[in-house]
Structure 1
Amino acid sequence: MFDWIQNLADWLVYELLNLNNGQHLAEALNFFIYDTVKILILLFVVIFFMGIVNSYFPIDRVKNYLSRNKLFGLEYLMASLFGIVTPFCSCSSVPLFIGFVRGGIPLGVTFSFLITSPLVNEVAIGLFVGLFGVKTTIIYVISGVLLGTISGIILQSLKLERYLTPWVKEVLANAQKEQDLFQMERKSFKQRLPIIWKEVIKILKGITPYVMVGIAIGGLMHGYIPEGFFERYMDKDNLFAVPLATILAIPMYSNASGVLPIVQVLVAKGIPLGTAIAFMMGVVGLSLPEALLLKKVMTLKLIAIFFSVVALCIIASGYLFNLIL
C-alpha cells in the first residue's frame, strides 16, 4: 500500500542526494522521509474520517454504549480488538486517539486501542507465523489483546481525564458544539464538509510539529544505534533481563513488522523468547517519539502514568512468555 512512499524515499536519498545505502545518515533520512509522508497521509485520512463520523453519530450515544457498566469490561476488549485491524505504528495511532477522545469515548477505552494497535496487526501476525510458528503467534495475539484490555481498565480506574492538555479540552468543547450544530440544523454532507475540513486543518496544524520532531528522533535512532548494542544486556541468565529489555527498548522506534526480524535474531542468539518479545513490545508500544507526539494531548504526568502501567504489563507478559514457551 505504501510501496510508492518507500520508492520515493529511496529515490530522494540514494539518487537525488547520492547517499550510500547502509550509511547512517542515509538510513536515518530514508526513515524520516518515509514515515513523515506515510503518517501525514494517515493523519489527514483518519482525522477527516473521524470528522465525518463525529458529524453524523451522536457523541452521547457512542459514549453511553461504550461506558455501560453492564458490559463488564467488554468495551475495553472491543477497543483492543479494533486495534488489531488497524495496522498503525504507535505514532500514527495518535490521530485515532484524538478522534476517539473527540467522539466522547472513555479515556481508558481509548488507551486500550492505542496500546493494541501498534502491537498486533495483520502484518505482524503474518510475520510472526513465519518466524515463530502458529502456537507462539496465537499466544502473542492473545497477550497483546489482554495487555491493551487490562491496561485500559487500570488507566480508566485512575480517573486521568484531568491530565489531558488544555488543547484537547478545547478540541472536545468545539467538537461538542459542532455536534450540536449538526444535529440541530440537519445539514447535508455537502454543507457539513467545509466545517469538517476546517476542523481537519486545525488539528493538523496543532499536531504536525510534534509528528515531525517525533519522526526525526525516531529516524536518528533508527540510523545510528549500532547493531548488537542491546544483545549483551538480555542474556537468559539475567533475572532482570525482561524489565531491562523493556526499558532499553524505549529509546528506539519502529513498527511491529520492522522490529520482528530483530526479535528473530535475538532469539537465534539464545535470548529467551519472552525477553525478546518484551523488547519488541517496548519498541513498538513505548517510545520517546510516541511520548513527544502524546505531549500534544497529554500532560507529562499522564504520559508517565500511561508508560508506567503499560511497561509493567509488558514486563509481566515477558515473564509469562518465558514460563510457557
Structure 2
Amino acid sequence: MMTNELCYSRAVEKLLNIEVPDRAKWIRTLFGEITRILNHLMAVLTHAMDVGALTPFLWGFEEREKLMEFYERVSGARLHSAYVRPGGVAFDLPHGLLEDIFKWSTQFASRVDEIEEVVSGNRIWKERTVGVGVVSMEEALNYSFSGVMLRGSGVAWDLRKVQPYDMYDKVEFDIPVGTHGDCYDRYLCRVQEMRESLRIIGQFELRVPFAVPFLPPIPIPVFDSRREDELTDWRSPSPSHKNSTQKQCLNQITPGAIKVDDHKLVPPPRASMKESMESLIHHFKIFSEGYSVPPGETYSAIEAPKGEMGVYLVSTDLEWTVCLWIVD
C-alpha cells in the first residue's frame, strides 16, 4: 500500500535533507486517506462476514473496487504501486481522476450509512462484539498498542495530529476514540475514521486544472459509542459539527512540481532527454548506479491505517542493499 512506500520514502528524504514539493505532499495526503478507507473497509467488512453478515461485505467491496481503480489509474498497479518515491511521486495525477474522486466522495458517505444501518444496531452483531475483546487504556499503553487498537481504548493518539507530516497540519479532522475498549468500539472507530478521511479529502480545495469547482456540503456525523436505542441520534450532526462538512471539493493541490528538482536523485523528464545531453547522462547514471545517500541514520514514522508504522534507516559508505526486519 502507498502508506508503506511513504514511510520508507520519508526516511530516505530525511537522510538526503530534501524538501518535497507541496503538490507532491498533497497527492501523498490524498492517497494516504484513500488507503485508510481501503484498509478500514476491508477490516470492517470481513469482520462482519466472519460474524455472519454477508450483505455489507458485498456492498463495501463495490466501493473498495472503485478505490483500487484510483490506485491503478495513478500508478498502473492495484497493490504494489511504487507510486510514492523518495523525492515526490512517480507521476502527476491523470486527467479526469480528481473529478472521479469527487463523484465517488459525494456518494460514499451515504454508503457508509447503509452499512451501519445493517450492522451497527444489529442484535446479533452487538451480541458478538459488545464486551468482547476488552482492552483497557492501561493495558493498551503497556502493550504498546497503536492505531485503532489504542484509540478504541480511549487514548487519542494519532501521528497525523501529534507529529504532522505532509499536509496534515493544514487540514482539520478529529480523532475518534472509544470508551469501552471492546470490539464494538474499535468497529465504530474505524467507521468514523472513514468519515474523517472524507472530511480531509473535502478540505483539499485543490487549485488544479480539470478539477471540479465545488463540492456540496456533506454532514459529518458525531462519533459516539452508545449501545442501545440511540444509534439514530448520534448519526445526526450536532451544532458543534455544523461546519464539519466537506468543503469546496478537491481543490487545494497547487499546480507545480511533483518531484524535487534534482536529477541526481530523480529521473529527468523523458522529453528533456531528447534535447539535453545532461538529462540523458543523469537518466543513465540513476538507472545504472542509483544515487548515494550520505552516511547517517534516521527514523521515520507515519499513522498507517493499521497503526503506527516506522522505518529506522541507517546509511553507511558500504554498498549494501536495504534490509528490512518485519515483526509479526
How high is the TM-score relative to the length of structure 1?
0.26
How high is the TM-score relative to the length of structure 2?
0.26
The structure in which a higher percent of residues are helix is 1
The structure in which a higher percent of residues are strand is 2
CA radius of gyration, larger in: 2
